[in-house]
Amino acid sequence: MTAERSEFANSENTGNISIAIDGPAGAGKSTIAKEISKRLSITYVDTGAMYRAIGLKAMRMGIDPANARRVVPMLDGTNVSIEYVDGVQHVLLDGEDVSGLIRTEEVSHYASVISTIPEVRKKLVELQRALARVRNVVMDGRDICSYVLPDATHKFFVTAEPEVRAARRYTEYAAAGKLNGRNFDDILCEIKRRDERDSTREAAPLRPADDAVVIDTSEMNVESAVAAVLAHIG
């Protein structure tokens, strides 16, 4: 195995391809981005994993993710870095590989709430932009097009109806044994609450960038959605 750490502070490469994929939770951003990464042989950057790492630390420390007065001081002693092992992204939190610990629903909740704090976004956006300076990347996450990579070579806003996104999440959670007693309506409510929180937050609210291509995947399968993105990349 080969590992490469993201130590990019003084690196610049303005000739890279950068594909930014934005959109609400459950629209298929990550699935599409990973497939684009494989087909174009470029690096996939999971920005959400970085917020999950910060959320995990807050959870471990017993900090309310909505309490900026406690979260912001925590950031000063927090180091989030990225390694690529055989092309697969690993997230390190204070030197610990937490890639396998950040996919729980509790961490997801912490990440969603903590991402509304401007200081958290500033810290992680710097890392995300540094990655794009030195690699050909496809990067997914909320506000990637409008805020993180405003000069991306290709921008997409992937969306779907809330009911469709909830159905996808329900199927995903059921297959993974992660329903935890929830039914479809519970997950739909979670999706709608997150949409509301993301679209009304003060720091980089969720909305399509003016120059992003909007792709509605409500009636698309993965192959169709990927094909739609590739058609615009050329």
Q: 160-184: per-residue pLDDT in tens?
A: 999 999 999 999 999 989 898 999 9
pLDDT at 167: 97
pLDDT at 10: 34
Residues 6+ apart with CB under 8 A from 80: 50, 53, 54, 91, 92, 93, 123, 124, 127
d(CA 97, CA 135): 22
pLDDT at 163: 98
In 3D space, the residue among 6, 84, 104 whose CA is nearest the CA of residue 42 turns out to be: 84
pLDDT at 160: 97
Sheet holding 80-85, edge to edge: 3-5, 80-85, 88-93, 96-97
How many CA atoms lie less than 13 Å away from 26 in the CB half-sphere?
Answer: 25
CATH T-level topology, domain 17-226: Rossmann fold (3.40.50)
Cβ atoms of residues 223 and 230 within 8 Å: no
> Mapping DSSP to helix (H, G, I), strand (E, B) and coil, where does residue 162 land?
helix
Angle at 16 between CA 81 and CA 115, to 5 degrees: 40
The one-character DSSP state at 202 is S
Global pTM? 0.81
> Considering Cα of 15, then 17, then 23, then 29, what sign does the dihedral take?
negative
pLDDT at 202: 77
pLDDT at 15: 66
How many CA atoms lie less than 13 Å away from 142 in the CB half-sphere?
Answer: 23
Helices within 116-161 (DSSP H only): 118-134
Cβ atoms of residues 47 and 6 within 8 Å: no
In 3D space, the residue among 155, 158, 169, 48 whose CA is nearest the CA of residue 99 turns out to be: 48
Percent of the chain scoring above 90 in pLDDT: 73
Residues of the chain predicted below pLDDT 50 = 1-13
